[in-house]
Amino acid sequence: MRTFLAIAPPPEVLRNIGTLQNRLQKDIQGVIRWVRPEGIHLTLKFFGEVSPEAVEKIDAAVSGPTAAVAPFNLAVRGVGVFPDVNRPRVVWVGIAGEIGALAALQRELERKLAAAGFPPEERPFRAHLTLGRVKVPRGIVGLSRAVETGAGVEAGIVPVREVALFKSELTPRGAVYTRLASYPLQGVPPAGAG
């Protein structure tokens, strides 16, 4: 089964993201496959196809790092494009807030999973929520302006209290995600935090 580790935004943030997508769909003309808001998540590690035995290894590797990390908050804000507006492939909304805590968690998960036999990601981790995938990069109209006007957009706060392991099933109507396991963040915040 195809699996990935991710942080799931709360329903109110997903609703705000849906509103943002609706606006972007009006502002951008081109062939973009928009992600359904309920399927939007912050991916920490994509595994691809794994066996049930591999899921047990993932479980063992993820439990330690998440238990040691204190809960933290992320903010969802700003529209952007990977790799850039001249060669658009992915339209995203950015992540701000306690980025240091997020990066530290992601690094430790990557380290533990590599030790468990899962190859590390070669590309650097760039926290974002994918809004849509550009199917035909040529002929996109309004993208630069949408990114410019979307720079200050805010979709809300994501209280990160757990990391989840999801199964992804590809269907004709898009991917369907099923939560396989949850790993609560159980560390103690530093004195004076919050």
Which sequence positions are flagged as catalytic? 41, 128
Q: Is 138 exposed, middle or buried (0-12, 13-18, 19+ CB in 10 A)?
A: exposed
What are the C-alpha distances in Å from 7 to residues 73, 156, 166?
Answer: 11, 15, 10
Please check whether residue 167 is in contact with residue 3, taking contact to mean a CB–CB distance below 8 angstroms: yes
What whole-number distance in Å separates Cα of residue 130 and Cα of residue 55?
Answer: 25
Number of other residues whose CB lies within 10 A of the CB of residue 81: 21
Q: Which two tokens stand for residue 13?
A: 């943030």
**CA proximity to 10, closest of 138, 159, 113:** 159
